[in-house]
Structure 1
Amino acid sequence: MAPNIISTSLEMHAKEDFQKEKSSVTTTDDENGMQNQNETRIKSEGLFKFKTELKWWNVVSIILLHMSMLYFCYTFKWFEDVRTTIWMIIMGVIQGLGVTAGAHRFWTHRAYKAKWPLRIILLICYTSAGQDNLYQWVRDHRVHHKFTDTDADPYNARRGFFYSHIGWLMVRKHPDVIRKGATVDMSDLDRDPLVVFQKKWYSYLALFLSIVVPTIVPWWGWGENLWYAWHWTVTKYCINLNITWSVNSAAHMWGVKPFDKSITPTDNAGVSFLTLGEGWHNYHHVFPWDYKAGEFGNYWFNFTATFIDLCAYLGLAYDLKTASANMVKKRVLRSSEMSY
């Protein structure tokens, strides 16, 4: 099973899903459509308040991916050759930075500006993570920020931990995600030649960067067993996915809310450590344009901010946006978090 099977399936079925969902949305614009939608909502039972159609390809892919990871974790001799373990950790950090410093803070929020060499590096790092084409990742995340905790939020945390963590990938989008998501401006990415190129060739690029390279290097480099190298790649991919998803789930469930108590996002140090600095989520939803994505930038709990600072020092990044200490203080006081 290919490690990027989830993202590849999303890419393959994106147009089909969009057309089906879009047509279902447009039928609700007239009076009869609204009545049918309301009847569907009333008849629905359980967690979801809308008719939920499963994406069976994604369901099976996710299950097989996690089964492969568990099998490998049980059978692998972890310290037989430490070089393989170190290699996979390095790859995990590189891919993580592609998501955090690239897809999230640069392309989604434009929290800083990057020169072309850094843009290319970030795009390669992100593609190697195998988390779908960049355009779709950014679109979903911008919709999430604009419509947080509503039906238009692709990974709405108010539907529970499982849905916000992984369940949203297993079902078709809520009609509000399509309807209101269309209001999100994506013109900057439409004009970005790197994003357009990556979107067009994503399947091939991800296959090479997220599967072939991580597997072949230890095999060719120091004679690692190819079977082990393959399963290491699958395991690393699965772990990285769950770390990324934890921002949508754990960082919306457990933690503190010193900046805005009315929303689900929280500041969670554990999630921040695992995600290279993405766990200061209550702060981030209040100041999404801050390149640090947190009140403080430090090596252990915000490695992404450290990386961006290094890029700025090298002249590759500039115009780093951040909230002033006074602005942060006023927001805390406004939130009545006097003990913070």
Structure 2
Amino acid sequence: MQRFTLSFSALFSSAEFSFLPTRQIERVEMTAVDDRCAGTGSALLEDECDLKNTPTRSRTQRRDAPVVVVWRNVVLMSMLHTAALYALVLIPSASAYTLLWTVFCFVFSALGVTAGAHRLWSHRSYKASLPLRIFLAVGNSMAFQNDIFEWSRDHRAHHKYSETDADPHNASRGFFFAHVGWLLVRKHPSVIENGQKLELSDLKNDKVVMFQRRFYKSSVVVMCFLIPTMLPWFLWTESLWVGFFVPALLRYTLVLNATWLVNSAAHMWGNRPYDVNISPRENRFVTFSAIGEGYHNYHHTFPYDYATTRHGPRQTHWGREPQEWINCSDVSLIISG
């Protein structure tokens, strides 16, 4: 057992366990400058601009912190992904309504992350009315990826300290760590130390964010598991077994991995048309799986844009972005910032 523990721990700490490209990154002068970094007067924006306007950053990583595996998380993640594999076998027995419901839950929970915790609360890239903020908070609870406050705090740290030990999912530690490994070990001390220095007053003053944080566990039970399972059984007599494994567990696992691919694959594979000095890339597969979030080089260059890329009038290779459709809706739930 001791031998296995040491081997597993090495997975997170060994410099050899890395899928990063080995060729040297070309250093060129960055010409794409986000004009929103000029005289913003916002503590949140200035936090990110300070790092964004730094011409070079050392990629040398300290490895003196011990790696502490959280075995409870390892077991739970293993069980979840095993259940998701089993759910694939159940798909042929699921009704068409159940499959459509699964797709709806995937998109709804993904929007709770990308349009909610990410674009709205982490970056404040647009303003939202109270009904929309509640809508996105509910979707975020269905996604079950930590509450909005914690998700936004970690993401701000990711941008401010990208690819350093203070980055919660530091991609320089390899694909596995950036994808899921960071959730299976205790946070690096630099993540905790520097995370406490971030400006988070806007989140603390947001009643929707703090309400969700207060009742997060119960909201996850209801939104991530009970409703996806029970609604198909109640409305079209789907079996509870299929309802639990397909719309609940399989959908949840797919949303998790779609989000994780932004942290891993989109930091390693793809082109860098906006800034070659940073690791994030434009990855079309991630764009498809994470509803637009694969244009990651653009996002790290212009983190305050509510859209994920610039292709003509906010057009992506996969069609208009979900954030764009919400923004253009007749009900005017969003007022672009």
1:107-122 correspondence to structure 2 within 5 Å: 107-122=121-136
**Equivalence for 1:128:** 142
The answer as to whether partners of 2:307 and 2:321 remain within 8 angstroms in 1 is no
Residue type of the alignment partner of 2:79: L
The answer as to whether partners of 2:327 and 2:336 remain within 8 angstroms in 1 is no
Distance 1:178 1:308 in 2: 35
After superposition, give the CA deviation of every residue in 1:85-109 in whole Å (9 maximum; x if it has no partner).
1110011101111111111000010
Q: SS state of the match for residue 328, structure 2?
A: helix
1:176 matched to 2:196? The reply is no
Q: Percentage identity across aligned positions? A: 42
After superposition, give the CA deviation of every residue in 1:12-37 in whole Å (9 maximum; x if it has no partner).
xxxxxxxxxxxxxxxxxxxxxxxxxx
Residue type of the alignment partner of 1:259: Y
1:273 matched to 2:307? The reply is no
The answer as to whether partners of 1:65 and 1:234 remain within 8 angstroms in 2 is yes
Question: Among 43, 46, 71, which residue is 2:14 paired with?
Answer: 46
Aligned length: 275
**Equivalence for 1:317:** 334
Question: Among 95, 101, 104, which residue is 1:90 paired with?
Answer: 104
Distance 1:186 1:252 in 2: 25
1:292 matched to 2:296? The reply is no
**Which stretches in structure 2 are left out of the alignment for 5+ residues?**
1-11, 16-61
1:304 matched to 2:322? The reply is yes
Q: SS state of the match for residue 220, structure 1?
A: helix
Distance 1:309 1:193 in 2: 22
Distance 2:122 2:228 in 1: 27
Question: Among 174, 181, 200, which residue is 1:167 paired with?
Answer: 181
Distance 2:270 2:154 in 1: 24
Tell me which protein shows more helix as a share of its residues. 1
Distance 2:175 2:186 in 1: 18
How far has the Cα of 1:281 moved from its partner?
A: 0.4
Q: CA, structure 1 residues 226+308, in 2 after alignment: closer, same or farther (shift >3 Å)? A: same
1:251 matched to 2:266? The reply is yes
How far has the Cα of 1:318 moved from its partner?
A: 0.8
The answer as to whether partners of 1:298 and 1:306 remain within 8 angstroms in 2 is no
How far has the Cα of 1:306 moved from its partner?
A: 2.4
How far has the Cα of 1:259 moved from its partner?
A: 1.2
1:132-281 correspondence to structure 2 within 5 Å: 132-232=146-246, 233-281=248-296
Q: CA, structure 1 residues 100+244, in 2 after alignment: closer, same or farther (shift >3 Å)? A: same
**Equivalence for 1:22:** none
Residue type of the alignment partner of 1:275: A
Distance 2:230 2:315 in 1: 34
**Which stretches in structure 1 are left out of the alignment for 5+ residues?**
1-43, 321-340
How far has the Cα of 1:45 moved from its partner?
A: 6.5
Runs of 4+ in 1 over 4 A off after TM superposition: none
Distance 2:112 2:292 in 1: 13
**Equivalence for 1:71:** 86
Distance 2:13 2:335 in 1: 51
How far has the Cα of 1:124 moved from its partner?
A: 1.1
How far has the Cα of 1:316 moved from its partner?
A: 1.2
Using structure 1 for the length normalisation, give the TM-score. Answer: 0.78
Distance 1:92 1:58 in 2: 23
Distance 1:168 1:237 in 2: 18
Q: SS state of the match for residue 231, structure 2?
A: helix
Using structure 2 for the length normalisation, give the TM-score. Answer: 0.78
How far has the Cα of 1:314 moved from its partner?
A: 2.5
Q: CA, structure 1 residues 150+70, in 2 after alignment: closer, same or farther (shift >3 Å)? A: same
The answer as to whether partners of 1:271 and 1:278 remain within 8 angstroms in 2 is yes
Distance 1:105 1:45 in 2: 31
Residue type of the alignment partner of 2:258: I
The answer as to whether partners of 1:273 and 1:302 remain within 8 angstroms in 2 is no
Residue type of the alignment partner of 1:147: Y
The answer as to whether partners of 2:203 and 2:209 remain within 8 angstroms in 1 is yes
Q: SS state of the match for residue 78, structure 1?
A: helix
Q: SS state of the match for residue 315, structure 1?
A: coil
